Amino acid sequence: MNTQQVIFLVLSAISLASAMGVILSKNPVTSVLCLILTFFTIAGHYVMLNAQFLAVVHIIVYAGAIMVLFLFVIMLMNLNADVEPQKRNWLKYAGAISGGTLLVILVAALRDASMPSLQSGSSDIGLIANLGKTLFHQYVVPFEISSVLFLSAMVGAVVIGKKE
Amino acid sequence: MPVQYYIFLSIALFCIGIMGVLMRRNAIIIFMCIELMLNAVNLLLVAFSKMWADAGRIDAAAAQIFVFFIMVVAAAEVAVGLAIIVMVYRNTHSVDINILNRLKN
């Protein structure tokens, strides 16, 4: 077992455990903190897959912006564990069983697929120079459309959020 | 390292997200589970990008561009969705999903 596999196993164990913490913890603030930990481990996976720019953007966007927004909303609403509504028990079991069934089916379907192995050498495909060239040569139109999407999301959030 | 490891990790993260959506009733937790599912898909796309880059394809960066756009859409979605949740909380003083049953009539 080489170093890469050890790093992969450690990162995967942390990310799966903290993802379970997101859905199992009673306190929403704990869920948010677990999700931030999951995002950091996913960023570690990106670095291992030679996607350095995406790792940095992932940390900035998710851990820096989105999760701060979640935490802000949760603290604004002052949600505690005792006001958290509890679902009926059989509904929880039904949800867990259907999710686990999907997991088993997907793993069984893809277990025997023949895939090439990832090489450990580094490439410059995920560096910002290469990605920027691709983004601004081939994908300029989606880039501009996404700016319109952001503008409309901003206007929508303001319109929804303002008082009558 | 086989690319199957990343496929199985993404499947596990995605299924944990699905379980969270089905099991919890807090709207914010459900929203966070949707983010988790989006991230599972992103991780799979990056792994496939690395696989094609190892195979010598020069357009393997397109997958990373796609991940970039998924992050853009997720950020916009969070802005609007959290505004909706805040508005629901302001009207009903709860973030319980069952409250939204009253949209029926």
pLDDT tens for residues A30-42? Answer: 999 999 999 999 9
Asked if B1 is an interface residue toward chain A (Cβ–Cβ < 8 A), one would say yes
pLDDT digits (tens, 9 = 90+) for A127-162: 888 889 889 999 999 999 999 999 999 999 999 888
Same domain for A121 and A134, yes or no, is no
Q: Are residues A29 and A97 in the same domain?
A: yes
pLDDT mean across residues, chain A: 88
Q: Are residues A120 and A142 in the same domain?
A: no
Report the C-alpha gap between B44 and B61 in whole angstroms: 14
Cβ separation B2–A118 shorter than 8 A: yes
Asked if A107 contacts B8 with a C-beta cutoff of 8 angstroms, the reply is: yes
Domain interval for residue B38 = 4-104
Domain count across chain A:
2
In terms of domains, do A7 and A73 share one?
A: yes
Chain A CB contacts of B81 below 8 Å: none
| Residues A29 and A60 grouped into a single domain | yes
* B70-101 pLDDT tens trace: 999 999 999 999 999 888 888 888 888 887 77
Q: Running DSSP on this structure, what letter comes out for residue B26?
A: B
Whole-angstrom distance, CA of residue A36 vs CA of residue A67? 7
* pLDDT of A1 higher than 80: no
The reported pLDDT for the residue numbered B47 is: 92
Pick A81 or A9 by higher pLDDT: A9
Residues in A touching B77 (Cβ below 8 Å): 153
pLDDT at A87: 59
What lies within 8 Å, CB to CB, of B19 at 6+ separation is: A23, A95, A96, A99, A100
Q: What is the mean pLDDT of residues A85-103?
A: 84
Model pLDDT, residue A33: 93
Q: What is chain B's mean pLDDT, rounded? A: 89
Q: Nearest CA of chain B to the CA of A106: how many Å?
A: 7
pLDDT higher than threshold 90 for residue A11: yes
Cβ within 8 Å, pair B49-A130 = no
Distance set, CA A114 to CA A105, A111, B3 (Å): 17, 9, 10
Is residue B24 classed as helix, strand or coil in its secondary structure?
coil
User: A111 to chain B, minimum CA–CA distance in Å?
Assistant: 8
Q: For position A28, which CATH number holds?
A: 1.20.120.1200
pLDDT tier, A43 (very low <50, low <70, confident <90, very high otherwise): very high
Tell me, what's the ipTM?
A: 0.91
Same domain, yes or no: A25 and A67: yes
| CATH code for position B81 | 1.10.287.3510
Does residue B12 register a pLDDT over 60?
A: yes
The reply to whether residue A118 touches residue B60, judged by beta carbons under 8 angstroms, is no
Please give the Cα distance from B78 to A153 (Å, whole number).
Answer: 9
Residues 7-36 of B with CB under 8 A from A: 7-9, 11-13, 15-26, 28-29, 31-33, 35-36
B80: how many CB neighbours lie within 10 A of its CB? 18
Distance CA B1, CA A73 (A): 41
Same-domain pairing of A141 and A65: no
pLDDT score of A84: 57
Same domain, A111 and A131: no
Higher pLDDT, A32 or A121: A32
In this predicted structure, what is the pLDDT of residue A85?
A: 57
d(CA B78, CA A66): 7
Chain B CB contacts of A15 below 8 Å: 9, 13
Q: Could you tell me if A62 and A110 lie in one domain?
A: yes
What pLDDT, on a 0 to 100 scale, did the predictor assign at position A122? 72
Q: Are residues A65 and A114 in the same domain?
A: yes
A78 exposed, middle or buried (CB, 10 Å; 0-12, 13-18, 19+)? exposed
CB contact under 8 A, A58 and B89: no
User: How many domains is chain B built from?
Assistant: 1
Q: Is residue A75 located within the same domain as residue A139?
A: no
Distance, in angstroms, between B105 CA and closest chain A CA? 22
CA distances (Å), origin A105, targets A101, A127, A139, B100: 6, 36, 36, 32
Do A121 and A133 belong to one domain?
Answer: no
Identify the domain containing residue A83 by its residue range.
Answer: 3-126
